[in-house]
Amino acid sequence: MGLFGKKMKTEEPSKGLVNPFVVSISDDFVMIEHPERKTEMIRWDDIVEIWFINTDAGPVAPDIWLALIGRESSCLIPTSDCDGYDEVYDIVSKYEGFDFKNVVKSMSCTENERFFLWRKPGAEAILK
């Protein structure tokens, strides 16, 4: 990948406001920072499950989150107005068995719901 130290901060074009989510991607991990939330980081090798978590909070707040879930850590990345999300999604969507049908279902859902996308082969479920 060769993305060590890559940090992205989003600017909302319609309002000229800086989105406070900062995504950092390296060969070893993905991390998201926000001034009002705890910093979250997960190593690529530690990802056990991937979900889309939809909320009814939009458009005032992010309404779809990419959840990278591990046994010891996790990372929630908003899918809209967040530089770095596309790069993370591009990486994880190449995992064998990634469920693109649930991606489509999530993108058309406006309710509070979770959509399973992937589980590491042989791993036990974390979220049920």
Q: Which amino acid is at 33?
A: E
Total-model pTM: 0.84
Question: Which pLDDT value is given to residue 81?
Answer: 80
Is the backbone of residue 59 left (phi > 0), alpha (psi -120 to 50) or beta?
A: alpha
Alpha carbons within 13 A on the beta-carbon side of 105: 13
Domain boundaries, the chain: 6-119
Residue pair 48/71 in contact (Cβ under 8 Å)? The answer is yes
pLDDT tens for the chain, 128 residues: list them.
344 454 544 444 444 445 788 999 999 999 999 888 899 999 999 999 999 999 988 777 888 999 999 999 999 999 988 889 999 999 999 999 999 999 999 999 989 999 999 999 999 999 88
